Structure 1
């Protein structure tokens, strides 16, 4: 199995974006919701902050802890991306490229936001 630098870059960006999609994005909140308890706290300024804590026991606790750790979820997202790339390249390549482009775009967006703040 030979992997080029370009393949590594594309797979890395796709894994990065898939991880962010699973752990942080609003669109996938429905996946995370069953595994977390929502805690609301009001700060001294009256602003309500919402915290998500993993469930207390069983499989929901396991998946809640997994989904609250982007390093942990990133490993599994990488496994999904790489295995699908090698086992089902015809079907997975377009999805992987889309995720990689979105991952690269998020880097550009972060840079632009940093430049606009200065």
Structure 2
């Protein structure tokens, strides 16, 4: 069948993009799930003053930590998580654009395939 190699390449490209989209969506969801708890930690730290004692869990041990250091750590974590969410959303939009570009050729490929199946002689 002429052009079947390019059609196969198109299908493999599209399948790879779908796989990438799924992976990006999963990772983005994980970051979006973590974000609210980190936001809560940040707001809880804002309620404290220097007289309060803060502890950080390191393995099985609670270690005393300075309030400003704890606030800084949580703020950096929030910044990182929100940056990752934005990055993954950008990647998702880009992959959606690519997916749209492949929809029409894949639809045509599917129609051609269905036509070819209908033209195959039945063996007895």
Question: With structure 2 as the length reference, what TM-score do the two structures score?
Answer: 0.28
Point out the structure with the larger helix share: 2
TM-score when normalising by structure 1: 0.29
Q: Which has the larger radius of gyration?
A: 2
